[in-house]
Structures are given as C-alpha cells and as structure tokens.
Amino acid sequence: MAKDRVTELALLNWVNTFPLETKVGSIGELSDGTVFSRMLKDINSDYVVQFLEQNTGPSKWISNKKSLEAVYKSLLRYIGDKCPNLDSVAFESKVDLNAIARQDDLQETVKLLTIFLMAAVEGPKNRDYIYLITTKLSTSAQEEIKKIILHAKSLAHQNTKQVAGSATPEIDPILALEEKHAALYMEYENLRKKHADFMTRFERLTISHDDLIQHNNNTDTKLKSLQESKDGDHANFIKKQMERIQELEEIIASQEQELEADRILKEKQTRELSSLRPLTTRLTQYQDELKELKDENLNLVKKANKVEHYLKKLENHTSLQRENTELREKIDLLEENQKDYDKVFEENSRYRKTAIEYSSRFQEQELHIVEISSQKNALKQEVQFLNYRISELNERQQHDEKFINDLQEQLRISSGQLCSESLTTGKRGLSLEEELEQVEDTPNIALENSRLKAEIKSLQSSNANSEVAQLNIDLLESERARKKLEERYKELFEKHITVQQQLDALLKTSQVEKTESLATTRKMYIETSQELTTTKAKLIQILSESSVRDRETLEKNQAVAALLSNGLLTLNDKISVINDHIKFLEEQALQNQHSEIQINESKNQHLEEKDNIVHEKLSDKVKSTNEIIIRNLSRENALLTTAWYDLTNRIQSNHIVLQRRQDVPKSWLNKQRQIVNPLGRR
C-alpha cells in the first residue's frame, strides 16, 4: 500500500512538470481527461483532442469516459507512429477507462500514467522530459520513476520473448538473423538513450552533490563556531561582537556624513542648475540661430552650385557651337569634294558613253566593211565571169568574122561561078520549074551577112559594152568607198586608242575601289546631311533655350542679388542681435562666480570669434561670388547675343536649296546599278 502511494506521488509530481493551468493534487482530478489531453498536447500537438465533453450532472462519468477514450485513442496512434517499440506495453497493458471515469480507480490511472510516461520518455522529445525529471523532481521521485520505466521495459521484453517463443520453430535463418539484428539494434538504441539519460542524470547529480558538500561544509563551520562560542570564553566572543558593532556604527556615521555632504552638494548643484537653466535656453536659441545660418549658407551654396551648373551648360553650348562650325566646315569640304566627284563622274560617264558609241560604230563599220568586201568579192567574180564571157564573145566574134570572111570568099567564088553558069543557062534556056528550084536553093547571102553584122554590132554595143562599163563604174565606186572606209577606220581606230588611253589613265583604280569610294562618299554625304539637319535642329533648340535661359539668368541674377542683399541685411541684423545677447550674457556672467565667469567668457569669446569669422567669410564670399557671377553672366549674355546673331546670319547665308534631278537614282540598288552600268544623262 505504501509502495502504491509512493508511485502515485511520483507520478503526480511528474504530471505537475507539464504546463498545466492548475497543479494536480490527487488521482481523482485526472478522471475527466482534460489533464491527459494537455499532456498529450505538450508531447505532440498533432495528436491533441480538440473538443472534450464537459458535464457536471449525474451522467458526468459517461462524458469523462468519452473524453478518456478519445485521449487514449490518440495516445495509441502517437505510440504506433512515433514509438513502435512501445506497442507491446500499450496494447498488452489494457486500461479500464470505465473504472477511471466512474470510480477513480488508482491502478488503472497508474497504468495510463505509465503509458504516458513511456510515450514521453521514448518519444522524439525524450531529452526535454528527461531533463525535467532530473531537474524538477526530487531524488526519491526520480528513483520511483526509474523503477516504473524499468518495470515497463521488462514487461515489454517479456512480451517480446513470449511472442518469440510462441512462434513456429521453422524460421528462415536469414529472417532470423535480420530479426536478431533488428532486436539488437533496438536494444542498442535503447541502451544509447539510457546511457544519455544516465549521463545527464549523473551530471545533474554531481552538480547537486557538489552543492550539498558545500552546504554541508558551511553548516559544519557554523556549528564549530557556535560550539566554540558556547564552550569557549564568552567574553572574547562578546568583545568581538562589540568591536564589530562599533565598526558598524563607525561605518554608519561615515555614511551619514557622506550623505550630509551629498545633500549639501545636491543643493549646491540644484542652485547652479537653476542659475544655468536660462543660459542653456539662450544657448539653445543660439544653436537654433546657428542652424538657421547653416541652412541659409547651404541654400547659398546650392544657388552657387546652380550657377556653376548653368556655367557648365553654357560651356557645353559653346562647345556645341564649335562642333557645329567644325561640322559646317566639314560639310562644305564634303560638298566641294562631292561636286568634284560629280564632275569627274560626269566626265567618266561621257567618256564611257563615247567609248560605247565608238565601239558600236566600230562594230557597224566592221560589218559594213565585211559587207563591202563581200560585195567586192561578188563583183570580182562577176567581172571575172564577164571577162570570161567577153573573151568567149570575142572568140565567137573572131570565129564569126572568119566565117564571114570565108563566106565572103565563098560568095566571091560562087558569084563568079554563078555568073558563068548564068551565061550558059541563058544561052541554053531553062524551064520554069528549074528556075524556081534554083531560086529556092540559092540563099540570100547578103541579107544574112548584113543581118549577122547587125547582130554582132548590137551584141558588142548593147551587152558587152554596157555590162563592162557598169562593172567598171561599180568597181571604181567600190574602190573609192573602200578607201574612204579604210581612212575612216584608221581615224576611228586612232581615236579609240587615244580614248582608251585616257580612260586607262582616269580609271587606274579598280572598279571595287571606285564603288567603295562612291559608297563611302555617299555615306559621308548622307551622314553629313543628317548631321547638318540635326545640328540645325540643335541650333534652333539651343537658340530658343539660350533666349529662355538669358531671360531666366537675368531674372535669376536679379533674384540672387536681391536674395544676397536681403541675406546680408538679415545676417547683419542677426549678428547685431547676437552681439547684444553676448553683451547681455557678459553683464550677467560678471555677477556669477569667478570660475563660471571664466568659463562663460571663454565660451562667449569662442562664439564671438566664430561669429565674426563666419560673418567675415560669408560677407567676403557673398561679395566675391556676387561680383564674379554678375561679371560672368554679363559676359556670357554678351557672348550669347553675339553668337546668336552670328549663327542667324550664317544660317541665312548658308541656306541652300537642294533639288534632286529626275534621272538621279533614289534607292541604293538603283545607285549600284548606275555605278555598274553608267548611262548618259538625258
């Protein structure tokens, strides 16, 4: 019974280590399940029961049972997920929740608490709970909890051995080895955890042991001193105590003196503080005034920076003007180069055109010469044919003449014979039939002869002479034309050679270099024209901005001068006020102590020196800066006006209207085509 009471108290003390709203005093306070729910929440908040039934009526134990069942189920789920080695403890030692809810059974509550204890000790947060057990519980409670844990583990080992003994003997050796390895590994883990627990506990015990030894030594010394005081001489002890009391009284007296001195010093310091408060207020005023002066100085510096910025802008403007003039000069040079290039290009195109015309004419003349030579050959053949025909005709003529001569001779001979025969026939007398036969047989030779002569003459006169004359005329004309063509060909050939030499001299550079130079010059011309337009636009913009800036700078100069004059006046006023304040402070400082007077005088002198230096510096700087700004601005305004008039005159004088010819190619491709295939301008 006493043992049960010890375990009950140990478990209750362990329960009170959890963060509960109220401490648990008895086992009966655990029957409603709220304490168990909070313990489970502290162990792992994922398994906490959210809503528990609360009932104060006669059926209270039913609601308590339901809440206990919910907490117990979530505890078993936690053990199954996080502490698989406690399955035997949780499921073998079944808890009668009905007895806890209705009768507040002690044994069943202890069982449930042991399950909670094992879940906390064997869970992921076991170090925290072991630390709480070793620090917050007494040694007796720690020993009892240790016994409970060991008893639960022994029950778990017995259950595992019984399960292993009840298993079938025919087991695979590999599985048996794996199971043995798992069991050994679990045992190793448990022993490692126990070792860690024991080490932490040992450390805590050593610390508490050292504390106890020290406490024991202190008590022993006190006991010895008391025994000596009782057993020994009371007079010495009383004397010592009296001396100690006297020392304490002396200490108290010295402390009272120090306290009085501190009180006097405090009163003195309060008086000094009351006298220095108006001075501090004035110092704060002076500090504020100094801050204002610094702000004004910063504003003046900003204005000076703005003026410098405008000066830089004006310098940039002048540099832009210089660049513009340089670009203008470059553009003029490029325009002159472009004009020269256009002239050279026109001459080249003319030369090319003349060369093309000469080549075409040469081709035509060559064709004409070929035609004339072919005609000449044909005429030669005709002349040869006609000469051959003339020779044939001459031969025929000679043959005919010979034949005629032969016929004439025959006629002569025949005429003589006829005469003789006619004389004989006349003498004889012929008949009519014989005379007709003779007439028919005798040809009219004279007629035939005359006829043949006429034909020969006609042939000689009409055919041969006309054809030969015509052929001779054609030959003469062809010879004259051939000579003229040869002379013309020689002249054209000489001109072609001279033109070719001129073209070779002009076109010494290669076609690629020409195209590249053309492209580069055109690009330069386009770029310069674009730069001209941009610079013109920039000039117009700069002129407009310069006019606006002139107005703004004049206004700003006036405003800056006014501000500076006002600032000087205000600074003088403030400095006079500060001097008055300083004099007033000096008069008041003379009434105070000598040390305070010296300190205040040094401070005032320092302030006066600073104010004078600041005043002098500011006045000098302001005057010099104002003079420099006004001088620079006036000079810059004069320069801007002269530059503006100069630029307007230049723009008016340099205003050139560019007009594109109709035959000039616009696109890049047409330009390249014109370069490759140059044609004459219309």
Q: pLDDT of 359-396, one tens digit each?
A: 777 777 777 777 777 777 877 787 778 778 777 777 77
Lowest mean pLDDT among 284-293, 423-432, 584-593, 640-649: 423-432
CA dist., res. 127 & res. 193, Å (int):
9
Q: pLDDT of 309-359, one tens digit each?
A: 888 888 888 888 888 888 888 888 888 888 887 888 888 778 778 878 877
Q: Helices 511-591 and 594-653 sit at what angle, rounded to 10 degrees?
A: 150
Under the banding of pLDDT at 50, 70 and 90, the label for residue 95 is confident
pLDDT value of position 179: 76
CA dist., res. 539 & res. 532, Å (int):
10
| Residue pointed to by tokens 């045992």 | 187
Asked, for residue 50, whether it belongs to a domain, the answer is: yes
Per the model's pLDDT, the better-predicted residue between 523 and 564 turns out to be 523
User: For the chain, percent helix, then strand, then coil, each to nearest 5?
Assistant: 90, 0, 10
* Residues 123, 156 contacting (CB under 8 angstroms): no
**Domain range for residue 106?**
2-166
* HSE (side-chain half, CA atoms, 13 Å) at 562: 6
Rg (CA), the chain: 74
Per the model's pLDDT, the better-predicted residue between 412 and 682 turns out to be 412
Report the candidate in 366, 378, 380, 357 with the shortest Cα–Cα distance to residue 486.
366
Tell whether the model's pLDDT for residue 506 goes beyond 60.
no
Asked, for residue 128, whether it belongs to a domain, the answer is: yes
pLDDT value of position 441: 45
pLDDT value of position 193: 81
Lowest mean pLDDT among 175-184, 185-194, 558-567, 668-677: 558-567
Per the model's pLDDT, the better-predicted residue between 654 and 196 turns out to be 196
Asked, for residue 414, whether it belongs to a domain, the answer is: no
pLDDT value of position 651: 66
pLDDT value of position 538: 60
Tell whether the model's pLDDT for residue 431 goes beyond 70.
no
Tell whether the model's pLDDT for residue 227 goes beyond 70.
no
Report the candidate in 499, 488, 497 with the shortest Cα–Cα distance to residue 353.
499
pLDDT value of position 451: 59
> Per-residue DSSP letters for 522-572?
HHHHHHHHHHHHHHHHHHHHHHHHHHHHHHHHHHHHHHHHHHHHHHHHHHH
pLDDT value of position 465: 52
For the chain, the first-to-last Cα distance in angstroms comes to 137
Under the banding of pLDDT at 50, 70 and 90, the label for residue 56 is low
Question: What would the 3-class secondary structure string for 26-92 be?
Answer: CHHHHCCCHHHHHHHHHHCHHHCCCCCCCCCCCCHHHHHHHHHHHHHHHHHHHHHHHCHHHHHHHHH
CA dist., res. 481 & res. 488, Å (int):
10
Asked, for residue 145, whether it belongs to a domain, the answer is: yes
Amino acid at 565: S
Instruction: Work out the average pLDDT over 567-572.
Output: 54
CA dist 463 → 386, 400, 412, 455, 469 (Å): 10, 17, 32, 11, 10
* Residues 618, 571 contacting (CB under 8 angstroms): yes
Asked, for residue 34, whether it belongs to a domain, the answer is: yes
Output the domain CATH number for residue 57. Answer: 1.10.418.10
* Residues 52, 70 contacting (CB under 8 angstroms): yes
Kindly report the average pLDDT of the chain as a whole number: 71
- Of the chain, the percentage scoring pLDDT greater than 90 comes to 0
Backbone region of residue 12 per phi and psi (left: phi > 0; alpha: psi in -120 to 50; beta: other values): alpha
Asked, for residue 138, whether it belongs to a domain, the answer is: yes
Under the banding of pLDDT at 50, 70 and 90, the label for residue 430 is very low
Tell whether the model's pLDDT for residue 30 goes beyond 60.
yes
- Counts for the chain of helices (H) and strands (E), in that order: 16, 0
- Structure token pair of residue 480: 């004259």
Q: pLDDT of 243-263, one tens digit each?
A: 888 888 888 878 888 888 888
Highest averaged pLDDT of the listed ranges 426-435, 496-505, 625-634, 655-664? 625-634
CA dist., res. 567 & res. 619, Å (int):
10
Positive/negative CA dihedral, 572, 575, 581, 586: negative
Q: pLDDT of 474-501, one tens digit each?
A: 667 766 766 776 676 677 667 767 766 7
Q: Which helix (H) or strand (E) holds 224?
A: helix 173-231
Please tell me the total count of domains within the chain: 1
- Structure token pair of residue 172: 């695979």
Instruction: Work out the average pLDDT over 540-556.
Output: 58
Give the global pTM.
Answer: 0.29
CA dist 49 → 46, 90, 261, 484, 646 (Å): 9, 19, 69, 133, 96
Asked, for residue 94, whether it belongs to a domain, the answer is: yes
Tell whether the model's pLDDT for residue 420 goes beyond 50.
yes
Under the banding of pLDDT at 50, 70 and 90, the label for residue 53 is low
- Structure token pair of residue 41: 């929440």
* Residues 540, 648 contacting (CB under 8 angstroms): no
CA dist., res. 101 & res. 662, Å (int):
116
Asked, for residue 11, whether it belongs to a domain, the answer is: yes
- Structure token pair of residue 33: 């399940």
